[in-house]
Amino acid sequence: MADRQATVRLVEESEATGRVAAIFDDIKATKRIDFVPAIWRVLATNPAHLDLMWTRLKAIMHPEADGGTSRLDPLTREIIALAVSATNGCSYCINSHTAAVRKLGLDVEGLGEVMAIVGLFNSTNAIAEGYQIEPDILPPLD
């Protein structure tokens, strides 16, 4: 778990005040976890950016928290996050979103299906680019 060292100091929950403290509380309540994940403690070194990122992430990933609706269920949203993170090879993000999909009920076999699809299309992506294949005709989307 000590595979890298953050390049800035993480803000402790105990030292947060004002807007930062309020966001830390909202993160724990919204995500139903009992600690503030490291990425938010790093972003807290710049409170304005912490606010912008949390506002955006909450609106996109937790629309139900504010009475909103979504065409995608929570597990599907986390699966997309995991697929993006695996494609980019972001360790922190992969760990975080794997924990989230597990909590939402995906088992090992289901995770295997997600990884198989991620692997498959990273393969076809490289081949389609490598051959410079022209797109098939796509009817316009209303």
Positions in 51-80 near its own copies (CB under 8 A): 52-53, 55-57, 59-61, 70-72, 76-77, 79-80
- Return the number of the residue (21 or 92) whose C-beta is nearest its own copies: 92
In contact, 113 and 107? CB cutoff 8 Å: no
Kindly state the smallest distance separating residue 17's Cβ from its own copies, in Å: 17
CA distance 75 to 95: 15
Q: In angstroms, how far is CA 45 from the centroid of its own chain?
A: 20
Site for its own copies in 19-38 (CB under 8 A): 35, 37-38
Distance, CA of 65 to CA of 30 (rounded, Å): 7
Q: Out of 5, 12, 19, 64, point to the residue binding its own copies (CB under 8 A).
A: 5
